[in-house]
Structure 1
Amino acid sequence: MIERLHLEIVKAVAEHKTLTRAAEHLCLTQSALSHSIKKLEQRLGTPLWLKEGRGLRLSPAGERLLKLSQRILPQLSHCEEELQEFAKGRRGQLRIGMECHPCYQWLLRTVSPFLQQWPDVDVDVKQRFQFGGLGAILHHDIDLLITPDPIQHQSLEYMAVFDYELVLVVNDEHPLAGESHIQPEQLSNETLITYPVERDRLDIFSQFLAPAQQMVKKHQSIETTDIMLQMVAAGRGITALPAWLLEQYQNTLPLQSCKLGKKGIHKHIYLAHRKNDEEIDYLKGFIKQAKSTTADIANLRH
């Protein structure tokens, strides 16, 4: 029978490459670690790893067991954490994954009233995933995924909670300021500032520049919205952000927006959750609050 210890050992060997370091990581003796795996190999009738110089590499059977460990161990850990919280009289933790950098301000507006409504539920937000957002929610590393780019899966339910237009942002003295809309070729000599996201996942590239076979002169990444817009206001470059987010800064910074193309680029923000979790009351409570926050932002804009 495959036990949790076997999964932890295979995962540790894959990460640390040697039995010695894997044993140290697991607080086991090397002999105990080797004995456990040898017994499992005998039971399965196949080796789980192969020697490669002074190190080890997983066999095909070991790789299969590694994939199982990557899926099962996070679920076990999360379940244990939940049970411990229940034992303390708490409800648990809602783990939210973010694939939308500009949505952080929107998320803050949602989380604050949610925490007031659910005082026995904690919230954790993750923006970096070992297997991407889809893998994180399927592997139970997170409970909710906020994403503008849904990838359909039979185990997931997506709900559109927020619509926005992506606009070009320039400072008041930029040559493009005042333009009703711009074309891709007008950005060929510009420095484009974006969040640190893969280029093929940035809409200004995938939906605006790439289809026209155009490129900017320079591409620069910045982590935070505030610094990004300070750079644009200082004439150091241009950026593309949701129109609703820009509106929060226009009273304090000399910034203007232009449509990206005549029709603009319109996006939806989705909340994804596992279908098996849809009856969890505090998860439903967060989705309800997310819709309410979106309605409040819409009312402020009008």
Structure 2
Amino acid sequence: MIERIHLRIVHAVKEQGSLTAAAKELCVTQSALSHTVRKLEDNLGTEIWIREGRSLRLTQAGQYLLNIANRVLPLLDHAETKLKQITQGERGTLRIGMECHPCYQWLLRVVSPFLDAWPDVDVDVKQKFQFGGVGALLDYEIDLLVTPDPFYKSGLNFQPVFDYEQVLVVPKNHPLAFHQYVKAEDLRDQVLITYPVATDRLDIYSQFLSPANVNPRLHKTTEATDIMMQMVACNRGVAALPKWLAEEYSKTLPLTVLRLGENGIDKQIYLGTRDGDSGIQYLQAFMDLARSFNSPTN
């Protein structure tokens, strides 16, 4: 029978790199850890690791167990935390995943009154540019997903929070700055600066450039919005941002905000949750508060 300790051992050895380090991490002796692994291998009739010099290489069975450990252990840890919170009357932590990288300022406006209203609830924000929000939500790594691109899947629920327009930002003295709007063809000879996200997840590509079979002359990336806008202001390229954010930067930098196409690109920000979490009071309270901030600038 595969037990939790087996999954923890496989995960710890992979993370720590050796049986000795894994035993120290798990607060057991190396001999006890080795005995547990040998017993599991005997029961399964297959090896978990193969020794290659001083290192260990997972067998196919070991890799499968590692994949299971990566999925199951966070679920078990989350369940234990929730049960302790129920027993002790605590509220715990609201874990928020961000797929809308420019939305951080909006999130701060919501978090501040939420923390005031729920003093026993902490907030943890996960924001990575290669972040897979839907998977994290399904795997209980986060409780709430902020995203402009909902992925409707059984067990998940997405509710719109506010609308916005995706626009192009160019230097004040740029030739395109005098246009009423830009066409995809106008960007063929431009340097486009974006966040370090796959192009198929960037609206400027998926909804504007790719349908017209156009690519910019050069595509650069940066994680910091401030740096991105400074680069645009200094004639290093052009960038696409939500209109509310672009207009904020245009107040202090020599920038011009332009519509993408004659009709523009309209988007929405959604909050994603798991269907089974609808009874969590602080989660529902956060969503109600977020809907009251139905604009990034209100």
Q: 1:296 Cα shift? A: 7.3
Unmatched segments (≥5 aa) in structure 1: none
Preserved CA contact (<8 Å) 2:184 2:208:
yes
2:59 and 2:152 mapped to 1: Cα distance?
A: 32
Preserved CA contact (<8 Å) 1:96 1:126:
yes
Preserved CA contact (<8 Å) 1:168 1:260:
yes
1:154 and 1:82 mapped to 2: Cα distance?
A: 23
Q: Deviations over 1:34-59 (max 9, x none)?
A: 11122222233333333445433333
Q: Deviations over 1:117-140 (max 9, x none)?
A: 211111000013887222211111
Match of 1:62 in 2: 62
Unmatched segments (≥5 aa) in structure 2: none
Which 10-residue stretch deviates more, 213-222 or 111-120? Answer: 213-222
How many corresponding residue pairs?
298
Residue 142 of structure 2: SS of its match in structure 1? coil
Structure 1 residue identity aligned to 2:120: D
With over 3 angstroms needed to count, the CA separation of the structure-2 counterparts of 1:203 and 1:120, relative to structure 1, is same
Match of 1:220 in 2: 220
With over 3 angstroms needed to count, the CA separation of the structure-2 counterparts of 1:79 and 1:51, relative to structure 1, is same
Q: 1:87 Cα shift? A: 6.2
Preserved CA contact (<8 Å) 1:94 1:122:
yes
Structure 2 residue identity aligned to 1:155: G
2:183 and 2:277 mapped to 1: Cα distance?
A: 44
With over 3 angstroms needed to count, the CA separation of the structure-2 counterparts of 1:25 and 1:296, relative to structure 1, is closer
Answer yes or no: is 1:191 the counterpart of 2:185: no
Match of 2:133 in 1: 133
Match of 2:106 in 1: 106
Structure 2 residue identity aligned to 1:37: V
Match of 2:23 in 1: 23
Q: 1:263 Cα shift? A: 2.1
Answer yes or no: is 1:292 the counterpart of 2:287: no
With over 3 angstroms needed to count, the CA separation of the structure-2 counterparts of 1:223 and 1:21, relative to structure 1, is same
Question: Sequence identity, in percent?
Answer: 57
Answer yes or no: is 1:203 the counterpart of 2:212: no
Q: Normalising by structure 1, what TM-score?
A: 0.89
Match of 2:4 in 1: 4
Which 10-residue stretch deviates more, 216-225 or 48-57? Answer: 48-57
1:4 and 1:112 mapped to 2: Cα distance?
A: 38
Q: Deviations over 1:117-176 (max 9, x none)?
A: 211111000013887222211111111111122222212111121221110011221111
Q: 1:243 Cα shift? A: 0.8
After superposition, residues 1-302 of structure 1 pair within 5 angstroms as: 1-52=1-52, 54-85=54-85, 89-128=89-128, 132-295=132-295, 297=297
Which 10-residue stretch deviates more, 90-99 or 180-189? Answer: 180-189
Q: Deviations over 1:235-257 (max 9, x none)?
A: 22211001122222332222221
Q: 1:178 Cα shift? A: 3.0
Q: Deviations over 1:198-244 (max 9, x none)?
A: 22221112222222222222222222222222222222221100112
Q: Deviations over 1:62-87 (max 9, x none)?
A: 33322221122112223344455556
With over 3 angstroms needed to count, the CA separation of the structure-2 counterparts of 1:129 and 1:21, relative to structure 1, is farther
Q: Normalising by structure 2, what TM-score?
A: 0.90
Structure 2 residue identity aligned to 1:244: W
1:212 and 1:56 mapped to 2: Cα distance?
A: 50
1:188 and 1:212 mapped to 2: Cα distance?
A: 11
1:295 and 1:237 mapped to 2: Cα distance?
A: 28
Residue 159 of structure 1: SS of its match in structure 2? strand
Preserved CA contact (<8 Å) 2:161 2:270:
yes
Preserved CA contact (<8 Å) 1:70 1:139:
no
Structure 2 residue identity aligned to 1:124: D
Preserved CA contact (<8 Å) 2:129 2:196:
no
Q: CA RMSD in A?
A: 2.3
Preserved CA contact (<8 Å) 1:82 1:93:
no
Q: 1:274 Cα shift? A: 1.1
Structure 2 residue identity aligned to 1:223: E
Residue 263 of structure 1: SS of its match in structure 2? coil
2:19 and 2:265 mapped to 1: Cα distance?
A: 52
1:212 and 1:190 mapped to 2: Cα distance?
A: 15
Structure 2 residue identity aligned to 1:184: A
